[in-house]
C-alpha cells in the first residue's frame, strides 16, 4: 500500500496529526530533527495562534458587511453607472478597489477556515469531484488566460461512480480552487498547469472513519495539480500549512495572498478522511496531490464489515433531456413530489441550471464571477453534487441524447468525453432541449472572431475577447431584445459599437414610435444604430474584419456578435416522430404533453398558446420555461396542472432605461382581427416633487368595440416593469378598460401617483372612446405634415417651453390665453393641439370644440412622446 510520499519506505507512513508535506530525503531528515527539538514550544505557540485566529475571525465577521458595501459602491462608480469617471480619478478608484478586495479576501479566508470547526459528519454527502474540479477551473480561467497560462485536464475514470466522495460540496470546491489558484498565481506568464483526476493503481494510506471497525481500504480517487511556477524554498516546506504563513519567495513577489489557503485545504481534507501532499515538481514548480476515499452516490449498509447496497423502491423512472431552466425545474419538482422516483437529467453542455438571462451582465462585468450565474440564491453551485445531495436527482452532463425509441421507452445517450454509448429506460420522458442560435445564411459566418450568445461558454468567449486591447470595434448584428442587451454589456466594457438591424426599427417588442426613442437613447450613449440595413456578408481573411451591408457600405470591426434570434431545438423530437406545431416547436397540450402521452416538452423547445388570441405561439423566455417545467412535473407525479397560455411579457434594460411590453402591440392586434385604439402617456413614475421621480412613456392598446385590454408597452428611466406587470395581470384576468381604470393600486408619493400611469392611460382611452376628444399619434401627424395641406399645429405650452423646443411652423398660444386669442385660429383647417405631455392639449381641444371648432385632434403624449426631430433655438 503506497503512502502519499515518494518511494522511500522510511517516509511511507505519516501521522494523521501532522501536516502532509513531501520533501526531498535530505530536507525531510533535517526538518524532522528540527521539529522534534521544537515540538514542545510549538504546542504553546499553536495555542496562542488559535486564540489569535479566534479574535481575527470575530473581527472578520464585523468587517464583512462594510467591506462588501465598499466594494459594491466602487464597482458602481467604476462601471460608469453614476456617470463618467475621469482618468485621474479612475486610478485612485482602482487602488481603492484593490485594497478593498485584499481585505475582502482576507475576511473570506478567515471565515472559510474557521467554518471547518462546525463541520460534522451529518454535513457530508456524496459529491462529484469532477464537477467540483470543473467549477474550480472556471473560477481561475480568467486569471490563467490573462497570464497566457495553459490549463490542461486529464480525467481518467473508467466508472462514473468512482468520481464521487463523501464530503461537503462547497468545501471540496474550495479546496480544489485553493490548489488551482496557487498554481496559477505563482506560475509565470506562458506557463502551464496540469490537472489530473485518476484512481490510484494502489491505494494510499488514509485515515479510517471513526469507529468504523473496518480494516479494508475504501476505493480512492486522486487529484493532482502540477505547475511550472516559482517553487518553494526547502526551509519553507514545513510551515506551508500554518495559518498566515507565506514562503519568502512568495512574499517577495508581487502576488498577493493571505497565507490561509493551504491551512484551510489541509484541515478540510483531513476532516473528510483524506490526505493532501505537496512536493517539488520536476518542472521546478509544485505538485499537489490530494486523495479521498470514494463514496458512490447510493445508500450503503456497513453491517458485518461489508458494504451492501440497499434495495430501493423505484416508483417511476423519469428521464429529462436538458438541464438548464425548464429541465432542472422539472427534475427538482419531480424529486420533491415523488421521492421514490428515479430522476436522471441528461445535459449536453458542461453547466446545469445556469442563469442564461444573466449572461449579458457577466459580459459587462456587473456580475463579477461566472460562479454567480451557476449558483442558487443561497450560494450553492448547481452542479451534479448539488442535484444529487439536495434534489435526489442524478445528472449526466456533457452527455448527448442521440435518439428516442418510443416503443422500447428508451433514450440512447453518448458521453461526449469518450464517445461511450448506452441506453436509459424511462416511464416518462421530459424534453427540455431548449433553443439554438439562429445563424443567418450569409457568407463568412464561419470566420474566426464571430460569436453568438447562447450559453456560458459563449459569454466567456466574448468576455475574453473584450479584454484584448486591440478588440475595440464591435459590430452587433440584430437589434432585437438580445442584441440590445449585448450592446449595453459591450459598451460598458469600453468598446465602440455598431448595431445593425434589417427591420425599419429596433426592438420588435415595442411599436416604432417607442423604439425610436430607445434608438435615440442608445445613440446618446455612443452606439451607432443602423436600421433598415440587411447584412449580406462578413468579410476577412484570417478573421472577420468587416461587415458588408446591402446598401454597399462596409463596417470595419475587430469582432462580430450575431444576435439574429433563436430557433427551437427539436431535432431529437422530430427524429422520434413527435409532432411539431405551426411555429416549428413541439406541439403540446395544456399539460405540456406532446403527441406521445409519455413524452412531455417544456421550455424553449415547446410551443405556447397566446392567451389573448387563443392561437399557437412561440415565446422563449426563462420565466415561461420554468413555469412549464413545474406544470409537467406536477402531471408526471399525479398532481394535475395546466398551462393557461402566455401573454408575451418581456422586459430588458438598455443602459439606464427599461424597455418592456406585454400582450399585443398595435400591429399584432390588427393582425389578430381586432380594431385597436391606443393611448400614449408620458409622466413621472411617482410624485413629481420627489428627487427620485423619473419619467416613463406608456402605450396602452385596447379593442375599440369591446374595450378589452390588449397590451401595454413602456420605456424610460422610471419604474416601467411595475406597470407592465399590472397590465399582464389584467390580461390574464380578461379585464376591460373600465375595470383597469378602477384598480385599487398601492399609492404613496415615493412609489406611485394618486392615479397611477396605467389608470391614467385607461382613462385616456375611455375618453377617446366616449367621444370626448380625438387623438393623433406622432407617426400619423408626421405623415400629415408631408401632405400639401398640413393641419394647424397649435402649441399651448408656456412661453419658456416653446422658446426652447417646438415643432416647426407651429402656432403658439398658451392655454391660459387661448380663450382671448381664439380668433387667431382658422376654423376651415384641421387643428392639432400640442402640449408637453398631452394634458394641456386635451384641455385646449375641449375649449376649441366648445367654441365650434369641429376638426380638432390632440397629439398623443405631447412633445415628450414625439420621436422625430424638433426645432430648437
- Active site amino acids: 357
On whether the CB atoms of residues 340 and 637 are closer than 8 A, the answer is no
On whether the CB atoms of residues 449 and 461 are closer than 8 A, the answer is no
CA proximity to 350, closest of 403, 399, 280, 300: 399
Question: Where is 402: in which H helix or E strand?
Answer: strand 399-405
Pairing of strands 599-601, 428-431: parallel
404 φψ region: left (φ > 0), alpha (ψ -120 to 50), beta (else): beta
Q: How many CA atoms lie within 13 A of 2 on its CB side?
A: 12
Pairing of strands 792-795, 856-859: unpaired
Nine-digit cell at 671?
Answer: 393582425
d(CA 569, CA 546): 30
DSSP 87-132: HHHHHHHHHHHHHHHHHHHHHHHHHHHHHGGG--GGG-EEEEHHHH
Angle between helices 512-524 and 778-785 (to 10 degrees): 90
Question: Where is 554: in which H helix or E strand?
Answer: strand 554-556
Number of C-beta neighbours around residue 533 at 10 A: 20
CA proximity to 839, closest of 864, 822, 817: 864
d(CA 389, CA 123): 10
DSSP-assigned letter for residue 33: H
Residues 6+ apart with CB under 8 A from 618: 568, 581, 583, 584, 585, 607, 608
Pairing of strands 566-568, 435-437: antiparallel
d(CA 546, CA 474): 10
d(CA 774, CA 378): 54
Per the DSSP assignment, residues forming a β-bridge with 173 are none
On whether the CB atoms of residues 512 and 504 are closer than 8 A, the answer is yes
CA distances (Å), 863 to each of 10, 241, 272, 324, 505, in order? 89, 70, 69, 45, 20
CA dihedral for 254, 260, 264, 266, sign (positive or negative): positive
- Count each helix (H run) and each strand (E run) in the chain, helices first: 22, 41
- Give backbone dihedrals phi and psi of 191, rounded to 5 degrees, phi first: -85, -160
d(CA 765, CA 759): 10
DSSP-assigned letter for residue 17: T
Angle of CA points 184, 187, 191, to nearest 5°: 100
Per the DSSP assignment, residues forming a β-bridge with 154 are 196
Pairing of strands 792-795, 831-834: parallel
- Give backbone dihedrals phi and psi of 328, rounded to 5 degrees, phi first: -65, -40
Nine-digit cell at 718?
Answer: 422610471
CA proximity to 743, closest of 734, 730, 732: 730
On whether the CB atoms of residues 697 and 853 are closer than 8 A, the answer is no
d(CA 476, CA 563): 7
Number of C-beta neighbours around residue 317 at 10 A: 16
Number of C-beta neighbours around residue 817 at 10 A: 13
Amino acid at each position: 500500500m503506497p503512502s502519499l510520499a515518494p518511494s522511500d519506505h522510511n517516509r511511507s507512513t505519516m501521522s494523521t496529526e501532522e501536516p502532509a508535506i513531501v520533501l526531498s530525503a535530505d530536507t525531510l531528515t533535517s526538518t524532522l530533527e528540527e521539529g522534534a527539538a521544537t515540538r514542545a514550544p510549538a504546542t504553546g505557540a499553536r495555542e496562542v495562534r488559535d486564540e489569535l485566529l479566534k479574535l481575527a475571525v470575530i473581527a472578520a465577521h464585523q468587517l464583512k458587511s462594510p467591506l462588501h458595501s465598499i466594494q459594491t459602491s466602487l464597482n458602481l462608480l467604476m462601471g460608469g453607472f453614476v456617470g463618467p469617471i475621469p482618468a485621474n480619478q479612475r486610478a485612485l478608484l482602482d487602488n481603492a478597489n484593490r485594497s478593498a478586495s485584499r481585505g475582502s479576501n482576507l475576511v473570506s479566508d478567515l471565515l472559510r477556515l474557521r467554518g471547518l470547526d462546525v463541520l460534522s459528519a451529518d454535513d457530508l454527502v456524496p459529491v462529484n469531484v469532477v464537477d467540483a474540479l470543473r467549477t474550480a477551473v472556471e473560477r481561475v480561467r480568467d486569471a490563467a488566460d490573462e497570464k497566457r497560462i495553459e490549463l490542461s485536464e486529464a480525467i481518467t475514470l473508467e466508472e462514473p461512480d468512482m468520481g464521487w466522495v463523501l464530503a461537503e460540496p462547497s468545501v471540496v470546491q474550495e479546496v480544489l480552487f485553493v490548489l488551482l489558484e496557487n498554481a496559477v498565481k505563482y506560475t509565470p506568464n506562458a506557463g502551464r498547469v496540469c490537472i489530473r483526476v485518476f484512481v490510484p493503481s494502489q491505494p494510499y494510506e488514509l485515515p479510517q472513519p471513526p469507529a468504523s471497525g473496518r480494516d479494508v481500504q475504501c476505493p480512492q480517487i486522486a487529484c493532482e495539480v502540477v505547475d511550472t511556477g516559482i517553487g518553494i524554498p526547502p526551509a519553507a516546506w514545513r510551515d506551508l500549512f500554518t495559518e498566515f504563513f507565506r514562503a519568502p519567495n512568495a512574499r517577495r513577489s508581487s502576488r498577493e495572498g493571505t497565507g490561509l489557503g493551504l491551512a484551510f485545504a489541509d484541515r478540510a481534507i483531513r476532516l473528510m478522511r483524506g490526505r493532501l501532499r505537496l512536493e517539488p515538481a520536476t518542472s521546478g514548480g509544485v505538485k499537489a496531490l490530494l486523495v479521498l476515499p470514494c463514496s458512490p452516490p447510493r445508500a450503503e449498509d456497513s453491517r458485518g464489515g461489508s458494504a451492501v447496497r440497499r434495495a430501493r423502491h423505484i416508483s417511476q423512472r423519469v428521464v429529462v433531456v436538458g438541464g438548464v431552466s425548464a429541465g432542472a425545474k422539472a427534475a427538482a419538482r419531480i424529486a420533491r413530489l415523488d421521492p421514490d422516483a428515479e430522476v436522471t437529467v441528461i445535459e449536453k453542455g458542461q453547466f446545469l441550471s445556469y442563469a442564461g438571462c444573466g449572461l449579458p451582465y457577466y459580459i459587462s462585468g456587473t456580475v463579477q464571477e461566472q460562479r454567480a450565474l451557476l449558483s442558487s440564491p443561497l450560494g450553492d453551485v448547481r452542479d451534479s453534487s448539488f442535484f444529487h445531495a439536495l434534489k435526489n436527482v442524478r445528472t449526466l452532463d456533457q452527455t448527448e441524447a442521440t435518439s428516442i425509441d418510443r416503443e422500447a421507452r428508451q433514450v440512447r445517450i453518448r458521453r461526449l468525453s469518450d464517445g461511450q454509448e448506452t441506453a436509459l429506460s424511462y416511464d416518462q420522458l421530459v424534453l427540455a432541449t431548449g433553443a439554438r442560435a439562429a445563424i443567418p445564411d450569409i457568407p463568412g459566418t464561419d470566420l474566426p472572431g464571430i460569436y453568438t450568445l447562447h450559453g456560458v461558454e459563449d459569454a466567456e468567449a466574448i468576455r475574453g475577447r473584450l479584454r484584448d486591447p486591440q478588440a475595440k470595434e464591435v459590430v452587433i448584428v440584430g437589434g432585437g431584445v438580445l442584441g440590445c442587451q449585448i450592446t449595453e454589456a459591450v459598451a460598458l466594457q469600453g468598446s465602440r459599437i455598431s448595431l445593425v438591424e434589417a427591420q425599419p426599427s429596433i426592438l420588435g417588442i415595442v411599436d416604432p414610435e417607442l423604439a425610436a426613442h430607445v434608438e435615440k437613447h442608445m445613440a446618446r450613449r455612443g452606439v451607432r444604430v443602423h436600421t433598415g440595413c440587411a447584412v449580406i456578408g462578413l468579410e476577412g481573411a484570417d478573421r472577420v474584419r468587416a461587415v458588408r451591408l446591402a446598401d454597399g457600405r462596409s463596417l470595419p470591426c475587430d469582432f462580430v456578435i450575431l444576435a439574429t434570434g433563436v430557433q427551437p431545438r427539436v431535432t431529437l423530437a422530430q427524429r422520434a416522430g413527435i409532432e411539431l406545431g405551426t411555429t416549428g416547436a413541439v406541439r403540446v397540450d395544456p399539460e405540456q404533453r406532446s403527441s406521445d402521452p409519455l413524452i412531455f416538452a417544456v421550455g424553449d423547445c415547446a410551443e405556447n398558446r397566446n392567451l389573448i388570441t387563443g392561437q399557437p405561439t412561440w415565446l422563449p423566455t426563462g420565466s415561461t420555461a420554468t413555469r412549464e417545467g413545474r406544470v409537467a412535473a406536477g402531471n408526471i407525479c399525479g398532481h394535475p396542472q395546466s398551462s393557461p397560455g402566455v401573454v408575451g411579457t418581456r422586459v430588458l434594460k438598455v443602459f439606464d432605461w427599461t424597455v418592456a411590453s406585454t400582450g399585443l402591440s398595435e400591429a399584432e392586434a390588427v393582425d389578430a382581427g381586432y380594431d385597436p385604439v391606443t393611448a400614449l402617456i408620458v409622466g413621472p413614475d411617482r410624485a413629481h416633487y420627489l428627487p427620485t421621480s423619473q419619467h416613463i412613456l406608456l402605450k396602452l392598446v385596447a379593442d375599440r368595440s369591446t374595450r378589452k385590454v390588449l397590451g401595454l408597452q413602456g420605456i424610460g428611466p422610471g419604474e416601467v416593469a411595475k406597470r407592465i406587470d399590472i397590465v399582464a395581470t389584467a390580461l390574464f384576468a380578461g379585464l376591460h378598460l373600465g375595470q383597469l381604470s378602477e384598480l385599487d393600486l398601492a399609492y404613496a408619493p415615493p412609489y406611485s401617483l394618486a392615479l397611477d400611469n396605467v389608470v391614467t392611460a385607461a382613462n385616456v382611452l375611455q375618453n377617446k372612446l366616449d367621444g370626448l376628444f380625438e387623438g393623433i399619434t406622432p407617426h400619423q401627424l408626421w405623415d400629415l405634415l408631408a401632405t400639401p395641406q398640413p393641419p394647424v399645429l397649435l402649441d399651448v405650452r408656456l412661453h419658456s417651453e416653446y422658446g426652447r423646443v417646438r415643432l416647426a411652423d407651429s402656432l403658439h398660444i398658451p392655454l391660459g390665453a387661448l380663450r382671448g386669442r381664439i380668433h387667431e385660429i382658422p376654423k376651415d383647417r384641421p387643428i392639432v393641439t400640442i402640449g408637453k405631455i398631452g394634458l394641456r392639449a386635451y384641455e385646449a381641444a375641449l375649449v376649441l370644440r366648445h367654441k365650434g371648432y369641429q376638426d380638432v385632434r390632440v397629439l398623443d403624449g405631447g412633445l415628450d412622446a414625439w420621436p422625430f426631430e424638433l426645432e430648437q433655438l
